[in-house]
Structure 1
């Protein structure tokens, strides 16, 4: 039963990735149809992100009341309906209206599924699930391109993606009784494998507010800088190559494709590595790899080396995000993990929404050549936060062990 159920969750992660890259793929044609300015897409993106942040912050209380299965079902229904709205919107203002349920639905289901998998499945599933998110994010522009290349319009592309979402809604509705059964039958999974350890602290005290649990703020900082790095390099990397390395635009576009391919491939490979290494080891290895790629990007070398640096950074980033998510119940206890997971998702979206525009603002005043230094500082901040967090839990684990071995007085 658990095997079939994880397949449903994999499908849900593909569905989660489908809307994320749809607006960017369709906007060049949507802009002409609506007669909208180019930067209107940025405001739409921020409106969706705002809804995602709000729903992520509220996800802990909502899921505790209604359960993961029902929240996932309703969230997917909201995104499916919102995509129909995008496909039928008569004006740009209606796009902003439908951006609200699209963002709210995306944030809730993201936090719900990540916490469920972190609590009841092993680490390799978390890496592979985020790899499948990349599959969804890759498929939707391809589907949209097919419609825009033929006689159909971008509206048909949105309606088709919405139809795929509605198929998932039906599957989730039929599988609704399985959520609690699978959770009960797989509750021991978190205690198996190289991540096994018993974290005992005030996180198990329900009277303590999640943000007051030691280590939570360091974890949030790591998520903020991770998503800032991932989104900033994806958004501005091509401009850096063209303007600073004199690369051809098509080569720069291919470099960004290789960057995201490195993230997707890296997560697929990381899923196998989790059978031998713990989440903590994977996070550290990924950070070292990303730091090495960033240092290579800082060197005054040709564009070919910069492209290689992009892929190296992508490979390094790959296991960090899913591994940090999977660590949440282990670090902070299962009682508060859903609320903390929502905080982490909210701060992650905050990083990917606001840090790339920060670089854009700085580059407009200076030069896009500051990108490598900006990425290097952000990666260093992520490593610092993560290592401080590791040091805290290592010290705490040692103290717990010494107390357990001390003779009773």
Structure 2
């Protein structure tokens, strides 16, 4: 009887975790396509995206780096409810605000909500689930990220304003907030178990060399993943003169291939060693960014976008999954929090740096910049300690 109740509770937990990852992905997918229209409404240059991303990152770091302390004070369910409410209100500000400074403030709170969800959910998942399950969880982030640009593209195709997509997604976030609030008691046990593991000091963990290599890897990888997601639409429409509708579909193809890839790798990782998968896909990231950068034909660029999306798919969730084994369980919560914080820093700073470069060298410098980052990422991975978990067959 008790086992049946526990199984139902675990199933419900995974189900709601899927919803949390969808809620994380939806806003990320929106901005890449909406930004050109948003910047036009606010009468600011495209390069100002870096400012918005920096504000988002500051909010994200404020909560992700302190998530261990937060979940000792409130349950994970309450944290999710508050975070989704914050993101919903922030997205409504994106939709209606005519003031740039207010948008920057909203971006901070959007990051705060996302950071709280991301770090706490990933820490819990790494302790409870296998690499394959974590890939499936992150696939649902891709579902949200894929739906976002499709939603904006649908609005534009139907001759509606882009901000209607933000209103719809804000409504979804607020609805999720209510779901988490009404079911917060189901998260009590998970939160307590997670909190028990969060005792290793930051300084002790940061003395480990592998942590610093991981930090750089997360910084570069997330910068590449998010950077292409944010800039690809602008590159295609402003530099390669592809129609907005077609470019929107291509941007969606990027997020869709990432999502499909995580589903596929969720299966493959039950059979293939994690280390071999990571080595292969990191090489694929270099190949994908290179195909986009050389810009031979539209077909080659589209193929590069899909290769990049699929190659990106298992990197983040797999690195999260192997962190307890690679760093040590006593350091896992702290290490994952720091890694995710630096991942978001990369997601802001690398696209922002690419934007600054584009001011002097044009938009086509952006894929070249990310290709160089992909090469450095590949080299850093081979600096990691060789001992890693080979497979993850059980959840």
TM category (shorter chain) comes to 0.7 to 0.9
Partner of 2:337: 342
Contact 2:32 2:229 in 1 (8 A): no
Deviations 1:128-149 (CA, angstroms, capped at 9, x unpaired): 2222112212334444566677
Q: CA deviation at 1:232?
A: 3.5
Task: Confirm or deny: 8 A CA contact 1:17 1:136 kept in the other structure.
Answer: yes
Summarize the Cα distance change of 1:204–1:29 in structure 2 as closer, same or farther, 3 Å threshold. Answer: closer
Shifted more, 369-378 versus 284-293: the winner is 369-378
How does 1:41-56 map onto structure 2 within 5 Å?
41-56=49-64
Alpha-carbon displacement from aligned partner over 1:183-205 (angstroms, at most 9, x marks no partner): 7999xxxxxxxxxxxxxxxx996
1:173 aligns with 2:181: yes
Deviation for aligned residue 1:8 = 0.9
Could you tell me whether the CA contact under 8 Å between 2:50 and 2:351 is conserved in 1?
A: no
| 1:374 is the counterpart of 2:369 | yes
Give the Cα–Cα distance (whole angstroms) in 1 for the partners of residues 150 and 253 of structure 2: 17
Q: Distance in 2 between matches of 1:33 and 1:309?
A: 32
Which residue pairs with 2:138 in the alignment? 130
Deviations 1:286-322 (A, max 9, x none): 1122234345557685443333233222221211111
**Largest Rg, 1 or 2:** 1
CA distance in 1, matches of 2:95, 2:264: 36
In the alignment, the residues of structure 1 paired with residue 235 and residue 161 of structure 2 have an alpha-carbon distance, to the nearest angstrom, of 33
Give 2:170's match in structure 1, choosing from 149, 162, 166. 162
Could you tell me how far apart the structure 2 residues matched to 1:32 and 1:267 are? 35
Instruction: State whether residues 238 and 249 of structure 1, in contact with CA within 8 Å, keep that contact through their aligned partners in structure 2.
Output: no
SS at match of 2:121: helix
Is 1:283 the counterpart of 2:295 in the alignment?
Answer: no
* Aligned positions of 1:77-156 closer than 5 A: 77-89=85-97, 91-144=99-152
Taking structure 1 as the reference length, what is the TM-score of the superposition? 0.78
**Structure 1: how far apart are the matches of 2:295 and 2:174?**
50
* Counterpart for residue 264 of structure 1: 259
Aligned-partner SS, 1:177: helix
CA distance in 1, matches of 2:162, 2:96: 10
Report the CA distance shift for 1:272/1:153 in structure 2 as closer, same or farther (over 3 A): same
- Taking the TM superposition and a 5 Å limit, the aligned residue runs for 1:32-43 are 38-43=46-51
Q: Is the 8 A contact 2:59 2:111 kept in 1?
A: yes
| Counterpart mapping for 1:219-368 below 5 A | 219-237=214-232, 248-249=242-243, 254-294=249-289, 296=291, 301-366=296-361
> Which residue, out of 53, 59, 62, partners 2:67?
59
Alignment partners' CA distance in 2, 1:240 and 1:211: 38
3-state secondary structure, aligned to 2:272: coil
Which structure 2 residue ranges, 5 or more long, are not aligned? Answer: 1-7, 390-395
Contact 2:47 2:356 in 1 (8 A): no
Deviations 1:10-55 (A, max 9, x none): 1111111222233444455555655555555553333223211222
Contact 1:23–1:41 (Cα < 8 Å) also in 2: no
* CA-atom RMSD in angstroms: 3.6
CA distance in 2, matches of 1:120, 1:361: 41
Query: Aligned partners of 2:253 and 2:124: how far apart in 1?
Result: 31
Identify if the C-alpha distance between structure 1 residues 329 and 369 changes in structure 2 by more than 3 Å, giving closer, same or farther.
Answer: same
Unaligned 5+ segments in structure 1 are 187-202, 398-409
Q: Distance in 1 between matches of 2:152 and 2:243?
A: 22
